[in-house]
Amino acid sequence: MIREAIVKLVHKENLTYEMAEGAMDEIMGGKADPIQISAFLTAMTMKGETIEEITACANGMRKHGIHMEHDKDVLEIVGTGGDKSNSFNISTTASLVISAGGVAVAKHGNRAASSKSGAADCLEALGVKIDLEPEKNKEVLEKLGICFLFAQKYHMSMKYVAPVRKMLGIRTIFNILGPLTNPAAATMQVMGVYEEALVRPMAEVLSNLGVKRGMVVYGQDCLDEISLSAPTSVCEIKDGTFGEYVITPEEFGMTRCTKEELVGGTPQENAEITKEILAGKKGPARDAVVLNAAAALHVAKEIPMQDAVKLAEELIDSGKAQKKLEEFVSLTNKLAEKE
């Protein structure tokens, strides 16, 4: 299947759903050699991926991943990365606020790729045990309403692709597949993308993959999250319908900052920023977390964005988000000792 797919892609022809899923099935199943994987990824990048191809590849990748069974309506908040902003771990910090608001969060992430600190690095620096087995993560989700799904633990077939991606050194479809392959199959999602052209297409892909309510966002100063330093383009998903609009920090009483004010550093430095925000420190970093957490609360609770911003602020100021982190650290460490 992958050989036929490469021929079509080289001639700038779109793949059918079946052909794209079949090619990904061969890649993730270890049946394609590195040269074929390289040709497939490069040719698809040069042609440009269609909504159908991305959906098919995501499903092909999901088939080879480990699924975490659960009985909750879960939300994912994640960015594609690749925006070169080196911001601190905004969505990771926001996930603690969201969970404190009673929304179950299954955060899927990895170690850093394009920055110094990925979600896994930051949570580890905060004291969370990041590599629990699926059964233990299910227990954490049920008890706390939050869990972390370490990509390396759930998508072990990526070992066939990782060396090729590293050698290629270009953006490929895998830059956007990570946020589309949550092992808990989230039905609600806030997803940041690294370029504006992806906003509407990725919303359609998420809907195809079973997301009922969600937002795809692009900070117009090249951020893969809601920006505090520029307008943000949004495509909102509501049960198969899509609404596109633009939001600004000023609409929610926020003062714009520069991108530099949100720059992070090492995992330890980013963990310190997270702790300061949850302890009540005011400033641009807190506002960025509030805005992004509010988007998820708006999606999950179906409340106006203005109300969601107030709720996010209350969850921080009341200490509930800080308590959620403490419980998360405590329970994951306790369960890790039993493994």
Instruction: Give Cβ neighbours of residue 151 (< 8 Å, ≥ 6 apart).
Output: 108, 109, 110, 120, 158, 178
The number of angstroms, rounded, from the C-alpha of 170 to the middle of its chain's C-alpha atoms is: 20
- The tally of CA atoms less than 13 A away on the side-chain side of residue 104 is 17
Asked whether residue 99 is marked as a ligand-binding residue, the answer is no
Asked whether residue 111 is marked as a ligand-binding residue, the answer is yes
Asked whether residue 319 is marked as a ligand-binding residue, the answer is no
What distance in Å separates the CA atoms of residue 249 and residue 309, rounded to the nearest whole number?
11
Instruction: Give Cβ neighbours of residue 156 (< 8 Å, ≥ 6 apart).
Output: 66
Asked whether residue 238 is marked as a ligand-binding residue, the answer is no
Asked whether residue 137 is marked as a ligand-binding residue, the answer is no
Asked whether residue 87 is marked as a ligand-binding residue, the answer is yes
What values do phi and psi take at 5, rounded to 5?
Answer: -65, -40
Asked whether residue 95 is marked as a ligand-binding residue, the answer is no
Asked whether residue 66 is marked as a ligand-binding residue, the answer is no
Asked whether residue 165 is marked as a ligand-binding residue, the answer is yes
CB 126 within 8 A of CB 275: yes
Asked whether residue 90 is marked as a ligand-binding residue, the answer is yes
Asked whether residue 224 is marked as a ligand-binding residue, the answer is yes
Asked whether residue 295 is marked as a ligand-binding residue, the answer is no
Asked whether residue 225 is marked as a ligand-binding residue, the answer is yes
Asked whether residue 11 is marked as a ligand-binding residue, the answer is no
Asked whether residue 107 is marked as a ligand-binding residue, the answer is yes
Asked whether residue 207 is marked as a ligand-binding residue, the answer is no
Asked whether residue 330 is marked as a ligand-binding residue, the answer is no
> Do the strands 188-192 and 241-247 form a parallel or antiparallel pair, or are they unpaired?
unpaired
Instruction: Give Cβ neighbours of residue 264 (< 8 Å, ≥ 6 apart).
Output: 86, 87, 88, 89, 115, 116, 117, 270, 273
Could you tell me which of 275, 228, 224, 216 has the C-alpha nearest to residue 115?
224
Could you tell me which of 300, 270, 304, 302 has the C-alpha nearest to residue 288?
270
Asked whether residue 155 is marked as a ligand-binding residue, the answer is no
What distance in Å separates the CA atoms of residue 68 and residue 88, rounded to the nearest whole number?
28
Q: At what angle do helices 17-28 and 34-47 cross, to 10 degrees?
A: 140
Asked whether residue 185 is marked as a ligand-binding residue, the answer is no
Asked whether residue 275 is marked as a ligand-binding residue, the answer is no
Asked whether residue 113 is marked as a ligand-binding residue, the answer is yes
CA-based Rg of the chain, rounded to a whole angstrom? 19
Which residues carry a binding-site annotation for Mg(2+)? 91, 224-225
Which residues carry a binding-site annotation for 5-phospho-alpha-D-ribose 1-diphosphate? 79, 82-83, 87, 89-92, 107-115, 119
Which residues carry a binding-site annotation for anthranilate? 79, 110, 165
Which residues carry a binding-site annotation? 79, 82-83, 87, 89-92, 107-115, 119, 165, 224-225
